[in-house]
Amino acid sequence: MINFQYARAVDVADAVSQMAADPAAKFIAGGTNLIDLMKEQVERPSRLIDISRLPLKAVEETADGGVRIGALVPNSDLAYHPLIEQRYPLLASAILAGASQQLRNMASAGGNLLQRTRCYYFYDTATPCNKREPGSGCSAINGLNRMHAILGTSEACIATHPSDMCVALAALEAKVHVSGPSGARMIAFADFHRLPDNAPQLDTNLNRNEIVTAIELPARGFAANYTYLKIRDRLSYAFALVSIAAALELDKGTINEARLALGGVAHKPWRDPAAEAALRGQPAGEAAFRQAADLVLRDARGYAHNAFKIDLARRGIVRALTQAARGAPQSQSNKKIA
């Protein structure tokens, strides 16, 4: 047992100043990821700053027709919120494809963004891992890498970001509101998570002393034609091997607007502007969907155990776009559990 201090933040400014005062402190929200990491001694904070009671639990409409989600809204409340169910069902589906009902009741929206990779070596402190201990090496590149990335990898790290919710947020072009010692700022979702490059210890572009306060969705929700397709080893309670958030706006069968984001394939939710651009103006059909899939995967690289993901992703993209175009999202998981 490694001792640590515990303090509750009274407001956002207090949370930020407590964090700035202790370089080894960590925020704790639902604790569903951080506590596991502390038990494995992967995270060893000197102090936990409990932000779970801060008033960041509202889901509200914004002046420009979007929705602002407080960072402490539990995943379950968010998925079942009427504004999200009706206007952003892609987000509701993605959230409900993740974890379990009990975990979703505890997990916060902000914590979901900041959850860490599920690479087995990251959790195993007896093995080298550049993300856990920079410069120590990557055990996955020549080790077991079935769940690892096929896009955007580096020689330093081939881990994936494990979130489902973030894949939908990437497709919906969310923005992340953060507060720090020098004030508040907004980060486009595409810029929030990082590729590993030569600094895989950094998952995001959030500065150390900053706290996530909210996530903002633009008005465009793609509620008519969307799908979140999650392919995994078990039907529930498993992280994605590959997941696809697909959203279309159609006009008499022609694609006016397209969004496509993948999970389980990279260090961040993977969006490809070239593939989306290629879909625009095309008839919504297999030819266009196959072309988009080929574009997304043009630079994919498989390792010893995960090369199957390239073909899985290709077929998954075509299936997800087909379901989205039909207005028939495959997932039944957004039905409320009695």
Ligand X SMILES: Cc1cc2nc3c(=O)[nH]c(=O)nc-3n(C[C@H](O)[C@H](O)[C@H](O)COP(=O)(O)OP(=O)(O)OC[C@H]3O[C@@H](n4cnc5c(N)ncnc54)[C@H](O)[C@@H]3O)c2cc1C
C-alpha 86, offset from chain centre: 21
Label each residue of 160-203 as H, E or C.
CCCCCHHHHHHHCCCEEEEEECCEEEEEEHHHHECCCCCCCCCC
C-alpha 241, offset from chain centre: 14
Strand partners, 228: 245
Placement of tokens 């494990």 in the chain: 162
Q: Could you tell which of ligand SF4, ligand X, none binds residue 112, using a CB distance below 5 to 8 A set by kind?
A: ligand X
Q: Taking CB under 6 A as the rule, does residue 33 contact ligand X?
A: yes
Q: Could you tell which of ligand X, ligand SF4, none binds residue 32, using a CB distance below 5 to 8 A set by kind?
A: ligand X
CA distances from 29 to 15, 34, 52, 154, 336 (A): 12, 9, 5, 31, 24
When binding is defined by CB under 6 A, the residue of 18, 32, 227, 333 that contacts ligand X is 32
Quick one: which of 39, 47, 50 has its CA closest to 5? 47
What is d(CA 189, CA 172) in angstroms, rounded to the nearest whole number? 9
Q: Could you tell which of ligand X, ligand SF4, none binds residue 174, using a CB distance below 5 to 8 A set by kind?
A: none
Q: Tell me which amino acid residue 141 is.
A: I
Q: Could you tell which of ligand X, ligand SF4, none binds residue 122, using a CB distance below 5 to 8 A set by kind?
A: ligand SF4
CA distances from 285 to 30, 46, 239 (A): 42, 55, 29
Q: Taking CB under 6 A as the rule, does residue 108 contact ligand X?
A: yes
Strand 67-70 vs strand 211-217: parallel, antiparallel, or unpaired?
antiparallel
Stretch that binds ligand X, among 6-14, 20-28, 61-69, 192-200 (CB under 6 A): 20-28
Shortest Cβ 147–ligand SF4 spacing (Å): 10
Shortest Cβ 156–ligand SF4 spacing (Å): 6
Stretch that binds ligand X, among 57-65, 76-84, 161-169, 271-279 (CB under 6 A): 161-169
| Residues within the interface to ligand SF4 (CB under 6 A) | 117, 119, 121-122, 129-131, 138-140, 157-159, 200
Q: Taking CB under 6 A as the rule, does residue 164 contact ligand X?
A: yes
Q: Could you tell which of ligand SF4, ligand X, none binds residue 130, using a CB distance below 5 to 8 A set by kind?
A: ligand SF4
When binding is defined by CB under 6 A, the residue of 12, 16, 18, 30 that contacts ligand X is 30
Handedness of CA 79, 83, 84, 85 (dihedral sign): positive
When binding is defined by CB under 6 A, the residue of 106, 199, 202, 307 that contacts ligand X is 106
Shortest Cβ 264–ligand SF4 spacing (Å): 14
Give Cβ neighbours of residue 251 (< 8 Å, ≥ 6 apart): none
Neighbours of 127 (CB within 10 A): 18
Q: Could you tell which of ligand SF4, ligand X, none binds residue 129, using a CB distance below 5 to 8 A set by kind?
A: ligand SF4
Q: Taking CB under 6 A as the rule, does residue 143 contact ligand X?
A: no
Q: Could you tell which of ligand SF4, ligand X, none binds residue 319, using a CB distance below 5 to 8 A set by kind?
A: none
Stretch that binds ligand X, among 97-105, 133-141, 151-159, 214-222 (CB under 6 A): 97-105
Stretch that binds ligand X, among 107-115, 253-261, 274-282, 321-329 (CB under 6 A): 107-115
Give Cβ neighbours of residue 178 (< 8 Å, ≥ 6 apart): 184, 185, 186, 187, 206, 210, 211, 212, 213
What is d(CA 326, CA 318) in angstroms, rounded to the nearest whole number? 12
Which residues of the shown chain bind ligand X in the complex (CB under 6 A)?
Answer: 26-34, 36, 51, 71, 98-99, 103, 106-108, 110-112, 114-115, 162-165, 211-212, 239
